[in-house]
Amino acid sequence: MDALERVLRALEQGKSLEEALSELPPQEAERIRPEAEAAAWLYRQEPALDQAASSWQPHWERVQPHLQPRQAPAAQRPRPRRGWAWPQWQRAWQFAVAAMLAALVLLGGTWTAVSAQHALPGDWRYPIKRLLEDTQYYLSPDPASRAALEITFAQRRLEESEALLKQGKTKLAAQTLTVYQRHVQNALQWAQKTSLPPEEAQTLASQAQTQAQMLERLRYHLPPQERQAAQAGEEVAEQAAAFFRGHGRPPAHRPPAASATVTATPTPSPTGTITPTVTATATETVTPTETPLTTATGQSYQWQWQGEKGNGNGP
């Protein structure tokens, strides 16, 4: 605190000017004496000021007419609504609804996908099942996987056809068998483009053979006019079984320039056109005895030798 401030406080406490200045060193007191005298002089005028001020009378009637009605304080006024400035609870409610919808979509999608696995032709979920199969097919990395997938899908079509027969839907069952044939034909085409490992080839051969047996049983449950589809499917299955059996077989010996081309050229029929062209190579001399093969449906399958047999790697 500076010297002047000390003197002013002393004066404020009611001390006289000399008493206030005596609290300071003489030189310091003399230095601030003019300001201290002015302050003391002001204190001496204060009673006169108080006396004059005591005459004040309120004149509310002169003030009140000028007071405009006041609005509520800004904090209490409702804020203008903005889209992004919803109250917290409304945003929470929105979030909850959005989360519920997302959960419903996810759960619903999952449920639909799972339940579609058991759908049969004619069901609204059946297209979803086929769509999922297509997705799986296009995600398969190589021809061998695609061939295996086609045989798996063919098996599903057989099972669907069997289920439809049990429900008495014979026409749908027959139509499903035509689709079965396409799967097997596709499997053969993919198998021609690659070299299947022997174990896998044998597995596929076994599956195709089982399917042929299934089709034989199914044929007798179909009405006569629908049996053609089953017969055609059975023949394609047997042909595929024979192909897979020979496809992955390890070569025992290689005869010179011996290659086999399997060409199935069925005549156009309601069950579809089957035109697998298979160039099979074998490690042993194979002489197909089924040339030409005429099926019960009138389709003929011809084995055509095209030079030397290959090594089982297909075309």
Partner 1 sequence: MTIANDTPISKLIRLAKRGDQTAFRALYERYGARLYRFFLAYGADADMADDLVNETFIRLWQHLDGYQERDRFEGYLFRIARNLLIDRQRQESRFLPLDDRPRQEKRISPEENAIQQENLADLHRALQKLKPDYRTVLILRFFYDYSPAQIAQVMERSEGAVRVLQHRALQALRKQIAQQSQEV
**Interacting residue ranges for partner 1, rule: CB under 8 A:** 2, 4-5, 8, 12, 34-39, 41-56, 58-60, 62-64, 66-74
Q: How far is the CB of 27 from partner 1 (least distance, A)?
A: 18
Contact 219, 234 (CB under 8 A): yes
Give the nearer residue to partner 1 in terms of CB position, either 7 or 280: 7
Q: How far is the CB of 14 from partner 1 (least distance, A)?
A: 12
- E strand intervals along 164-291: 258-265, 277-280
Q: How far is the CB of 82 from partner 1 (least distance, A)?
A: 23
Q: How far is the CB of 94 from partner 1 (least distance, A)?
A: 35
Give the nearer residue to partner 1 in terms of CB position, either 5 or 134: 5
Q: How far is the CB of 65 from partner 1 (least distance, A)?
A: 10
For residue 142, the tally of other CB atoms under 10 A from its CB is 11
For residue 128, the tally of other CB atoms under 10 A from its CB is 17
Give the nearer residue to partner 1 in terms of CB position, either 78 or 83: 78
**b/e 284-293 (16+ beta carbons within 10 angstroms → b):** eebebeeeeb
Q: How far is the CB of 87 from partner 1 (least distance, A)?
A: 24
Q: How far is the CB of 19 from partner 1 (least distance, A)?
A: 17
Give the nearer residue to partner 1 in terms of CB position, either 52 or 252: 52
Q: How far is the CB of 104 from partner 1 (least distance, A)?
A: 49
Q: Which of 244, 232, 134 minimizes the C-alpha distance to 190?
A: 244
Give the nearer residue to partner 1 in terms of CB position, either 71 or 135: 71
Would you give the DSSP letter of residue 282?
-
Contact 186, 134 (CB under 8 A): no
Give the nearer residue to partner 1 in terms of CB position, either 64 or 88: 64
Q: Which of 182, 177, 185 minimizes the C-alpha distance to 161?
A: 177
Q: Which helix (H) or strand (E) holds 240?
A: helix 227-247
Q: How far is the CB of 8 from partner 1 (least distance, A)?
A: 8
CA 252 from centroid of its chain's CA atoms:
50
Give the nearer residue to partner 1 in terms of CB position, either 13 or 90: 13
Total residues belonging to the chain: 315
Give the nearer residue to partner 1 in terms of CB position, either 33 or 193: 33
Contact 163, 123 (CB under 8 A): no
Residue 209 exposed, middle or buried by CB count within 10 Å (0-12, 13-18, 19+): middle
Q: Two tokens at 14?
A: 């009611």
What Cα–Cα distance (Å) separates residue 162 from each residue in 136, 175, 213? 24, 12, 13
Round to whole Å and give the CA distance between 315 and 102.
Answer: 50
Give the nearer residue to partner 1 in terms of CB position, either 46 or 199: 46
Round to whole Å and give the CA distance between 219 and 215.
Answer: 6
